[in-house]
Amino acid sequence: MSPAATASGPARPGGTLRRLLSARNVVVAAATALALLLPLFGSNFFVEFVMTRTMILGIAAATIVFLAAYGGMISLAQYLLAGVAGFMVGNAVVAQDAWSKGLKLGWNPWVAVLFALAVTTFVAFVLGALASRTTGIYFLMITLTYAVIGYYVFGSITPLSGFGGITGIDPPGLFEDHPQRMYLALVVLSVLVYVAFRVLAATPFGLALQGIRDDPVRMASLGFNVSLHRTLAFTLAGFTAGLAGVFNVWWNGQIDPTSISIGPTLDLLIVAVIGGTLSLEGAWLGAFVFVTANNYLRNLPLVDHIGITEARFNTIVGVLVLLIMILSPDGLAGIIDRVRKGLRRLIQQPPGSGAGPAEAATGSSP
């Protein structure tokens, strides 16, 4: 928010429009426009590989951010839920005569999507109901346990998949051989998810959820059903992660338990952490940084000299997270925020006595 926006306040006529034109929204809108126009000038590899993957990971990471920022829950089960949707699509669409594992139901791909999302939402509801009575570190541990158990469930239950996974999963005709269309659909979906999460935050449900985040005991004594709110938030996040999982499996064409194991689970958390677990935009920013690093870091000329090869990518990711957690637990968004505040202080200091209460008021909104 710029100082002008803060000064105008919501009471003035035209305040709503002014508020919609905040710096945050303008930047997001510009980024969206850029993403939509990208196929016109970006290279095929950049659009169909880097940016498509960014959007998928961004949507999945946004569900982590949603739960963390509005619900105070850090969930490690989001990649598992995306994987559940992926496995369900795989089991449903692969044809009976295909050379693959799984149930091979051979359904219409769009029916398969509905089926996958229904199963994922149900699984998220059950897992959420079990975990929602705990918070903080317990919630993190329980969801991590879900993630690891999920890996073994799909790995050992061979009729569903087995460790070899399901291969040859074709996207529906709309997207088959049209990777640019899939990219554009993902941009639209990203915007929908982003707007939906932000609008939700202002609804009675979202406000109650944030109240529960801040003081569950008080909200309970005001008559709110704390665990039900948490469960529903987790279910919604699970459904959204399922959407990301459907696109992920279309994009990959296959899925196996290793792709939802503890490594990728941490990668997704890392995406959320890079962007900052408290800012929704950070999810896509983090995804972009992660995917870019994953694709281009190995091509840097000096990398081989210091003994870091492609295979050691996890070490780089780990060190990156370690540094972020040590230096700025709010991630890149936190760093940007700090730089902005520092700049503003630099600009405002000379004329008068500093920022004063206006800055304190703007600083706390997630």
Burial class (CB in 10 A: 0-12, 13-18, 19+), 294: middle
Distance of alpha carbon 166 from its chain centroid, rounded? 24
Instruction: Please state, in angstroms and rounded to a whole number, the distance separating the CA atoms of residues 71 and 206.
Output: 9
- For residues 57 and 247, the answer to whether their CB atoms sit within 8 Å is no
Q: Does 244 bind other proteins (CB under 8 A)?
A: no
Candidate ranges 22-30, 237-245, 247-255, 320-328; the one touching other proteins (CB under 8 A): 320-328
- CB of 293: closest distance to other proteins in angstroms? 14
Q: Does 215 bind other proteins (CB under 8 A)?
A: no
Instruction: Please state, in angstroms and rounded to a whole number, the distance separating the CA atoms of residues 304 and 283.
Output: 30
Site track 268-297 with other proteins (rule: CB under 8 A), x = hit: -x---x------------------------
Instruction: Please state, in angstroms and rounded to a whole number, the distance separating the CA atoms of residues 211 and 227.
Output: 13
Q: Does 221 bind other proteins (CB under 8 A)?
A: yes
Residue 49 or residue 163: which is nearer to other proteins going by CB? 163
Site track 326-345 with other proteins (rule: CB under 8 A), x = hit: x--x----------------
Helices 313-327, 280-296: crossing angle, 10 deg rounding: 140
User: Concatenated DSSP letters for 251-313?
Assistant: HHS-B-GGGGSHHHHHHHHHHHHHH-TT-HHHHHHHHHHHHHHHHHGGG-TTTTTTT--GGGH
Near other proteins in 126-145, by CB under 8 A: 130-131, 133-138, 140-142, 144-145
Residue 131 or residue 243: which is nearer to other proteins going by CB? 131
Residue 28 or residue 272: which is nearer to other proteins going by CB? 272
Candidate ranges 112-120, 224-232, 235-243, 341-349; the one touching other proteins (CB under 8 A): 224-232
Tell which one of 38, 262, 335, 336 touches other proteins (CB under 8 A): 262
Distance, first Cα to last Cα, the chain? 12
Q: Which residues bind other proteins (CB under 8 A)?
A: 74, 130-131, 133-138, 140-142, 144-145, 148-149, 152-153, 156-158, 216-217, 220-221, 223, 225-228, 261-263, 266, 269, 273, 311-312, 314-315, 317-319, 321-322, 325-326, 329
